[in-house]
Chain A
């Protein structure tokens, strides 16, 4: 569906609060615009974003049309253990895009 870009620190100390940055390329079509022939352009936005850390949900966001194109979301989590962070975006058509990032916790 789209290209994604994730920024997770590759290494962290146990208990450290780390910042996670996520970006996905998506038009986030609001449904309020019209094309050159005057036809309304149907709504097509990413409406849900979930981040899991070794399978446990740590962050979830419900997005609306007021989120700019190419949704960029940053948030924080505590580095608890080495493992994988999985990111999942779902759009109006039910298409799902995922991305993963590894983190090593000392």
Chain B
């Protein structure tokens, strides 16, 4: 932006310099070279979701399977989305689900719910209603008693987002 400095010392910005500045900013914004100009809503990204997952379960490898995350693929209203999580487990003291964590990619913050249970549950399943701010992936991760981790990912399309800003 140094090329748009007015050469006259201590002067007020002239109309020409203002126009030139505006044009430069517009060009830079269009080229994506000025990220401070683009207005972004606070939102979790796939990266922050990964960070949130790492914070909860650590860096251990997560296998795909055993968990069934049931969310309608097309959601009309993101303010209340029925979610059903089912984990394939015998729920015996030797082999049971210790916890289930659910995460999202694009809400303002990535956590949805963490559920803790033990063999007394009899059946490793729960359901609730969640908020979704945008079309995105939702991930459920189950922590087993032997320490293994299993997951399921569902892509959800949301037509009306949960009210987050001015509503």
Residues of A within 8 A of B (CB): 17, 30, 32-34, 53, 56, 58-78, 80
Q: Which residues of chain A are within 8 angstroms of B50 by Cβ–Cβ distance?
A: none
Question: In the complex, A10 Cα to B167 Cα: how many Å?
Answer: 42
Q: Which residues of chain A are within 8 angstroms of B24 by Cβ–Cβ distance?
A: none
Of B3-11, B108-116, B139-147, B151-159, the one touching chain A = B108-116
Contact status of A77 and B126, CB under 8 A, knowing A32-B165, A34-B165, A67-B131: no
- 7 tightest Cβ-Cβ pairs between the two chains A and B: A17-B122, A78-B122, A68-B129, A76-B123, A64-B111, A68-B80, A66-B112
Does B74 interact with chain A (Cβ within 8 Å)?
A: no
Contact, CB under 8 Å: B121 / A78: yes
Number of A-B contacts (CB under 8 A): 103
Contact, CB under 8 Å: B164 / A66: no
Contact status of A69 and B79, CB under 8 A, knowing A74-B126, A77-B121: yes
Question: In the complex, A82 Cα to B125 Cα: how many Å?
Answer: 23
Q: Which residues of chain B are within 8 angstroms of A78 by Cβ–Cβ distance?
A: 120-122
Q: Which residues of chain A are within 8 angstroms of B68 by Cβ–Cβ distance?
A: none
Question: In the complex, A69 Cα to B79 Cα: how many Å?
Answer: 8
What are some 5 contacts across the A-B interface (CB < 8 A)?
A30-B164, A66-B104, A68-B131, A75-B117, A80-B120
